[in-house]
Chains A and B, each alone.
Chain A
């Protein structure tokens, strides 16, 4: 918890179309302190995913961004393709929502992971395979050798998300960005994946940014909370402060809504789990 690894200052974003300009990010500023988990929380359309994608220059074409994003003191805005390529994976690795569609359907999972390991570690085919197998075992994927020969459609959502986390770990990045990593997974799997993320962050000394709409997920896991709404940062605070004494009405509403879900959950576990799962499988627009 020392100086910020990533500083976002005055980030703005406008979708430029022939029909006109639609501003979607307004003066977004926040820090990701080194060596902790920061949650960026907000409802659908709050601009949290676009913010995360902008860090790696992966925002959809048509989104024009302005402002400043500094990683380890270095300005990222305006980097060219080669500049971003040097950063992607090796410095900042990203895990996306819907892991199964994030993997190439016609290549085996092992091949895709080995390619990443070879690109970022300069390993031979054989050494890459060994490292991938080890890393898969580390995130508790049973029979990693057999799994490597399989294709993404043969993986469950939770297993596929573990694969994506392995892909990130293989790069040994300094910053791990997770965009709705548990959305679409069932409740138990969500908890498992979150637990894994927390453990790996501590183990590897990573700085982790968790983008999510699910405050309940954030709870114990994170050190810091950034709340976004309609393209603006409305509140940022340490997790302890945020949960005990939220500063804005919006944060209080979010917390209250979340508490309701949790209470229901304890009162009637079976059906509540069902409800939460359904709610979580709803498509989460990233715009």
Chain B
């Protein structure tokens, strides 16, 4: 037996593991479709009950009944709610999200147009938020009860307590209005500057690729404050979870075992404590991704950022039903996909969830 050792003892039977993961994925997909249908239906009803009648916002005041009825018919709002819902679902099944009342363009085109702007904020904010959150959480746990821990707690609680849009306004009043060292809330580029030719969708990267460092610098300056605000909303919950996970792991019996068997402190921390401590951080990262990908609606609003969040904000103001439904559907898909990924990540990272 001993002489014929070939396979590594740590490898699991690959086929069994794959089958388990596939089963999990299949079950999740069914559940996900159900959730999306529920969200779509709920939104459809709520906007029609709660939002002001869009006709009043679209026709000039004092317009006659014929005009109003004509507009109503054109927007597809003339039938009963049930028949409207049937038509909407039919279109949705074919991938048609409807046409925005505001832009007169297909909602899916509008969302695709605005997605790169949101992504340009989301990616750096997530990188900063996740790295900062995990790092601070680990430091706080290792320095538990000492100055660094208290300082990190104060910063984290402050970040959690401040609504992002308010923080955005405060930062603008400090860095733009008072100090004048960062640009104002005017979107992705200052007025009069042409966007670079589209390649990646990120103005900073596209300008760099086109060799236009000046535009790249301007675009990067526009990014600073909104990214900072988003990162603030992302790092704080991650810090708290990483800290408590690490504190728990450091107290655990298996860390004591590793210490009792003479492993160096650094190795006990990395090989044993860290991996367990970071498991619950997965969920928090997913929350951060969802927050960033929905453009943290009000943050984009504050900074005049032409992303998906601002699109949703305008849709609310204009009772733009198809746009609003499109945004909620997009957000629902983002969440559903993320939580499916979270489950898969746990299945891969924590053997206890597989059995």
Taking beta carbons and an 8 Å cutoff, which residues of A are in contact with B?
56, 58, 81, 85-90, 93-94, 96, 98, 101-108, 110-111, 114-116, 119-120, 125-126, 129-130, 132-134, 145, 148-149, 151, 153-154, 164, 167, 171
Contacts and interface: CB of A to CB of B under 8 A. Distances in A.
B276 A105 contact: yes
Contact of A56 (B13, B252, B253, B260): B260
A145 B1 contact: yes
B263 A119 contact: yes
Given A96-B253, A101-B253, A149 B262 contact: no
A84 B257 CA distance: 14
Nearest to A137: B1
5 contacts: A104-B276, A148-B10, A151-B352, A153-B352, A171-B261
Contacts of A115: 263, 271
Interface residues of B, number: 33
A86 B351 contact: no
B259 A88 contact: yes
A96 B257 contact: yes
A104 B272 contact: yes
A171 B263 CA distance: 12
Contacts of B261: 88-89, 93, 116, 119-120, 167, 171
A105 B255 CA distance: 11
B260 A94 contact: yes
Given A108-B9, A145-B1, A102 B351 contact: no
B260 A149 contact: no
Interface string B148-186: 000000000000000000000000000000000000000
Contacts of B264: 85
B254 interface: yes
Interface in B252-290: 252-254, 256-265, 271-272, 275-276, 279
Interface of B: 1-3, 5, 8-13, 252-254, 256-265, 271-272, 275-276, 279, 349-352, 355
Contacts of A116: 261
Contacts of B13: 149
Contacts of B12: 149
Contacts of A145: 1, 9
Contacts of A56: 260
Nearest to A153: B352
A126 B9 CA distance: 9
A287 B124 CA distance: 48
A90 B262 CA distance: 8
A81 B256 contact: no
Contact of A149 (B11, B258, B265): B11
A114 B272 CA distance: 14
A58 B256 CA distance: 8
A270 B116 CA distance: 71
A102 B257 contact: yes
Contacts of B1: 133, 145
| 8 nearest CB pairs, A to B | A88-B262, A110-B9, A89-B262, A148-B9, A151-B351, A89-B261, A104-B254, A101-B253
Nearest to A110: B9
| Residue in B8, B256, B260 whose Cβ sees the most chain A Cβ within 10 Å | B260
A157 to B, nearest CB: 13
Given A58-B259, A119-B263, A105 B9 contact: no
